[in-house]
């Protein structure tokens, strides 16, 4: 600890030093008091605050963002997620500037930023910007950099973009049956069977592409999901999203019948020199690597047109599976475990209020009112 220094005018000066919680640099600053006791008390308070995570030096947005990204994100999330975070934060840094003090970002100027972005970006894009920034500020609160999160309670909107082709994010039961039936009747190819597996399981596209034949237990109707294919970098199988634990799901026997048909077609194609030799991965292209998400989505687009269903991307199978399981009145913990999510994420992003769910809940409501003698 520093010793108070008596000045010529009789006052006492102290220079407490502590390590900055963001940059790791040693920080020192002088302050003068009437007595040595006051000087020591000030130093003790500064050191105590620093040990508790509070800094007397203003932390800038640019420095904290770098600190947050390196410490809390890069070790745990995929490269594509990091790329998305960097795009989101580029907008924030442009608006606030990297030199903006973190504690000077208020609810008012934060809301102004969201309102500004909403003039030129879609609701979904503004939502991801908000989610990213709010997450960073939550960590800043936990670290004692700021006292409260200005992002809490913020509202946002966005421009409605006219799509070249209509698109939906979830299928109702009617469209699900139409599309699945159309896919089953389509000519054999890797994308066809990839879509069938997603339709039954709601797997993420990376998990699907990372499936190997060793993970398929046809006799017990189980699939082990313990990795995903890094289709952004083509570096092979990697850990699951957010380093979640592997999960084993039990699926209907008919899916394994389809996989058996696929295996037979694949082997026949190999012998006929139509495709490259067999691979450990289920869904491979001519280069011996797993097919791309783009290939699956192009196949889906074509099949949607033929089935007369508003187009979807592969991720819609995931939302559809979550919504169908809710319609079947399955337990939320089971649904979350099956899809590899938390119950909170499932409820917030995946279960959608389709017409099927509305009708089911209206029926339940009327039955309750009738049982109570109200109607």
**Given the structure tokens 């006052």, which residue do they identify?**
11
* Residues 301, 249 within the same domain: yes
Residue 187 and residue 98 in one domain:
no
For residue 11, being part of any structural domain is answered with yes
Q: Are residues 86 and 218 in the same domain?
A: no
Contact 288, 276 (CB under 8 A): yes
Query: How far is C-alpha 126 from the chain's CA centre?
Result: 15
CA 112 – CA 108 distance, rounded (Å): 6
Residue 130's pLDDT is 97
pLDDT in tens, 26-45: 666 788 888 888 888 887 87
**Residues 245 and 120 occupy one common structural domain:** no
Note whether 83 and 229 are same-domain residues.
no
pLDDT tens-digit series, residues 230-259: 988 778 898 898 788 999 999 999 999 999
Domain annotation covers residue 127:
yes
Q: Are 179 and 57 in contact (CB under 8 A)?
A: no
User: Residue 197 domain-assigned?
Assistant: yes
Q: Does position 274 have pLDDT exceeding 80, yes or no? A: no
Name the domain boundary from 142, 159, 187. Answer: 142
Burial label for 73, CB within 10 Å (0-12, 13-18, 19+), is middle
Q: Are residues 260 and 308 in the same domain?
A: yes
Looking at residue 55, its pLDDT comes to 54
Query: In the structure, what pLDDT confidence band is assigned to residue 282 with cuts at 50, 70 and 90?
Result: very high
The C-alpha atoms of residue 179 and residue 305 are separated, in whole angstroms, by 9
Nearest to 31 by CA among 48, 11, 60: 11
Radius of gyration of the chain (CA): 28
Residues 287/305, Cβ–Cβ less than 8 Å: no
pLDDT at 331: 87
300 contacts 313 by C-beta, under 8 angstroms:
yes
Q: Which of 365, 359, 341 lies closest to 351, judged by CA?
A: 341
Strands 228-229 and 31-33: unpaired
Q: Which distant-in-sequence residues (6+ apart) come within 8 Å of 338 by Cβ?
A: 201, 202, 247, 249, 321, 325
Among 351, 293, 310, 298, smallest CA distance to 178 is for: 310
Where helices occur in the chain by DSSP H, the ranges are 36-51, 61-68, 79-96, 107-118, 123-142, 173-185, 190-201, 205-209, 253-271, 293-307, 315-327, 332-339, 343-345, 355-371
- The answer to whether residue 155 is domain-embedded is no
pLDDT of residue 276: 53
Residue 26, domain member (yes or no): yes
**Residue 147, in any domain of the structure:** no
Specify whether 180 is located in the same domain as 260.
yes
Indicate whether 221 and 346 sit together in one domain.
Answer: yes
At 343 the pLDDT is: 84
Q: Is residue 371 part of a domain?
A: no
Residue 314's CB: how many other CB atoms inside 10 A? 21
User: Are 284 and 317 in a shared domain?
Assistant: yes
- Neighbouring-strand partners of residue 53: none
What is the predicted pLDDT for the residue at 49? 65
Give a yes or no: residue 164 inside a domain.
no
Question: What is the residue-averaged pLDDT of the chain?
Answer: 88
Same domain for 27 and 105? no
Using one digit for the tens of pLDDT, what is the confidence trace for 113-162?
Answer: 999 999 999 999 999 999 999 999 999 999 888 889 999 999 999 998 77
At residue 56, does pLDDT exceed 60? no
**CATH assignment of the domain containing 95:** 1.10.150
311/352 Cα distance (integer angstroms): 17
Sign of the CA dihedral with 203 first, then 206, 207, and 209 last: positive
Let me know whether 206 and 75 are in one domain. no
Can you say whether the dihedral through the CA atoms of 322, 195, 85, 112 is positive or negative?
A: negative
The range of the structural domain enclosing residue 98 comes to: 61-142
* pLDDT-above-70 percentage for the chain: 90
Q: Give the residue with greater pLDDT, 59 vs 306.
A: 306
b or e along 345-374 (b: 16 or more beta carbons within 10 Å of the residue's beta carbon)?
ebeeebbbebebbeeeeeeeeeeeeeeeee
Task: For residues 217 and 316, give the distance between their C-alpha atoms in angstroms, rounded to a whole number.
Answer: 26
d(C-alpha 351, C-alpha 345), whole Å: 9
Q: How many CB atoms lie within 10 A of CB 262?
A: 20
Indicate the number of domains in the chain: 3
Q: For residue 188, what is the domain's CATH number?
A: 1.10.443.10
328 or 97: which leads in pLDDT: 97
135: nearest Cα among 87, 96, 97, 85: 85
Neighbours of 70 (CB within 10 A): 10
| pTM assigned to the model | 0.72
Q: Looking at the structure, do residues 243 and 308 belong to the same domain, yes or no?
A: yes
């Amino acid at each position: 600890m520093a010793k108070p220094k008596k000045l010529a005018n009789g006052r006492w000066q102290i220079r407490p030093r502590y390590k900055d919680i963001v940059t790791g640099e040693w920080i020192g600053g002088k302050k003068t008091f009437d007595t040595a006791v006051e000087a020591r008390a000030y130093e003790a308070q500064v050191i105590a605050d620093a040990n508790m995570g509070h800094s007397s030096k203003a932390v800038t947005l640019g420095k904290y963002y770098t600190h947050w990204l390196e410490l809390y994100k890069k070790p745990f999330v995929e490269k594509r997620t990091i790329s998305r975070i960097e795009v989101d934060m580029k907008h924030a840094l442009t608006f606030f500037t990297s030199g903006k003090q973190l504690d000077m970002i208020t609810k008012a100027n934060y809301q102004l930023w969201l309102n500004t972005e909403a003039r030129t970006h879609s609701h979904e894009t503004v939502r991801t910007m908000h989610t990213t920034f709010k997450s960073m500020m939550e960590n800043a609160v936990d670290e004692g950099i700021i006292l409260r999160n200005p992002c809490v309670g913020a509202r946002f909107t966005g421009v409605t973009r006219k799509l070249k082709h209509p698109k939906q994010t979830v299928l109702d039961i009617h469209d699900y049956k139409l599309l699945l039936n159309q896919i089953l009747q389509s000519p054999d190819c890797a994308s066809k069977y990839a879509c069938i597996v997603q339709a039954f399981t709601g797997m993420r596209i990376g998990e699907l592409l990372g499936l190997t034949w060793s993970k398929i237990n046809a006799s017990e109707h189980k699939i082990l999901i313990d990795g995903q294919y890094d289709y952004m970098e083509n570096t092979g199988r990697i850990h699951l999203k957010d380093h979640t634990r592997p999960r084993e799901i039990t699926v209907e026997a008919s899916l394994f019948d389809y996989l058996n048909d696929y295996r037979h077609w694949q082997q026949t194609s190999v012998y006929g020199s139509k495709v490259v030799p067999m691979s450990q991965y289920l869904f491979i292209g001519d280069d011996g690597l797993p097919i791309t998400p783009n290939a699956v989505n192009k196949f889906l687009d074509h099949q949607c047109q033929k089935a007369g269903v508003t187009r979807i991307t592969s991720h819609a199978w995931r939302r559809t599976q979550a919504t169908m399981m809710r319609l079947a009145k399955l337990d939320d913990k089971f649904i979350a475990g099956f899809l590899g999510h938390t119950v909170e994420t499932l409820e917030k992003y995946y279960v959608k209020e389709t017409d099927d769910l509305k009708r089911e809940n209206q029926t339940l409501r009327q039955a309750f009112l009738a049982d109570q003698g109200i109607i």
